[in-house]
Amino acid sequence: MMSENWRKIPEIVRDVRSGAVSAVENVERALAVAECCKNYNIFVSITKERALQRATEIDQKVKAGVAVGELAGVPYVLKDNFLDFGAKTTASAKMLEGFVAPLQATAVKKLEAAGAICIGKSNLDAFAHGGSTENSFFGVTKNSKDTRRVAGGSSGGSAVAVALGVAPFALGTDTGGSIRQPAAFNGVIGVKPTFGSVSRFGVVAMASSTDTIGCFATNAFDARLVMNVMSGKDSWDSTTIDNDFMRHTSRKLRIGVILDFMTDDVDREVLTIVEKYVKKLDKKGYDVKTIKMSTLKYALPVYYVVVPAEVASNLARYDGIRYGHRARVAKTLPEIYGHSRDEGFMPENKRRVLIGNFVLSSGFFDAYYLKAQKVRTLIIEEYRKAFAKFDVLLCPTTPTPAFKIGEKTDDPVKMYLEDVMTVPPSLAGLPAVSVPAGRTKSGLDVGVQLIGARGSDAVILTLAEQMEDYGEQ
């Protein structure tokens, strides 16, 4: 079931400001579609009461002639690893089952200040560890085009919510592809910004050197607008930077197609769809050439050394003592630690903790973690050289369309290989966006990934917007 498409966000806001459509009506519509889509397992919780209360407040301001923000009355869906009021924050993990947040994430605060209204918390792989939303304590989220297939992950619930028309936009987090991959699998825009563009304060941490906050939308302009509202420096997150997502560029863009990801290892239909997108770029007058990047083949093994190390560090806080799940059978302190973590973590969480602790351990740190960080520097340097020649780099977002539920759960390596194209920009802290490029013969969505130099988020989103307009002609 798919709802009638929402109009672009500025049009929704214009109607709310004029009184033509109330914020309450928008929220009620979103809640009704969410109810109709229950079979997809999009939501961990629905924030109906708070959403209607906030919508009523916005409508009252409009009637009183008080100015309302640039997202006034726009419903949205929030990935359940953001701390917010109105629902528990679980990160889809038993470890945080029942956790009530004492504060709101900075990104949520900024959206609320602009008038956006959260209608529910979406499902994800527990602690955002995974690429299919099969690793959730609350069950698997189903693909928007084929319920036998995965939604992608870890932000699967948010991607499906936008694809099915529950809300005009949704928030996600992207550490190695957790926004871009589900966006590709569900035919929506998925934005991973330059590292530090949006504050991570109040978001459950996964890997602190690559975690980013982004969004899903049905069109590039809405994505730009949402990202611009959330972006900027935050005293609670020292990694944050200023970044203007609404900036436009009129110069002729130089686009490099990454040949390393256009090989026989990629699904044939995916390659054909991406090649058609490249031809459209050429037809529209962009300067399109190819580029080989020899270090990118090392990105995936580097990622699965560096990120588990940071995961192990970040998950160390869940000890059954301070907060989170505590095992009832435990009697001694070591038993509390052991049983609580065993019961509270999903298998993929445990796998990453074990890998992370191994590569950080004495005798293996130099052989694995230190070497991985050195190769990461080489990858960053190769991107720097590439962006001296090109404004945007292009490749498929994923090597395959959405795979069947259960198809890769018994083989972690096969699952990790789905990240092969999204991981490199994450390691380098670069902005990247997945844009819908077409569908396979069986109706599955395929995405193209546009990658920009650090801080050039507006450039790749401008390109995405221009290609949307071109495609409509």
Known catalytic residues are 79, 154, 178
CA distances from 298 to 378, 427, 433 (A): 10, 11, 22
User: Which residues lie below 8 Å from residue 263, measured CB to CB, with a gap of 6+?
Assistant: none
- The alpha-helical segments, DSSP class H, found in 254-298 are 268-283
Taking the CA atoms of the chain, what radius of gyration do you get in angstroms? 21
DSSP code of 95?
A: G
Tell the residue number behind the tokens 């790749």, with chain if given. Answer: 460
Question: Measured between alpha carbons, how far is 351 from 362 in angstroms, rounded to an integer?
Answer: 19
Peptide bond into 154 cis (omega under 30): yes
DSSP code of 403?
A: P
Amino acid at 287: D
Q: Is 103 helix (H, G, I), strand (E, B) or coil?
A: coil
Token pair of 241 as six digits: 């930077």
How far separated are the first and last CA of the chain, in Å rounded?
A: 28
Q: Is 111 helix (H, G, I), strand (E, B) or coil?
A: helix
Q: What is the DSSP string of 301-364?
A: HHHHHHHHHHHHHHHTT-SSSSSS---SS--SHHHHHHHHHHHHS-HHHHHHHHHHHHHHSTTT
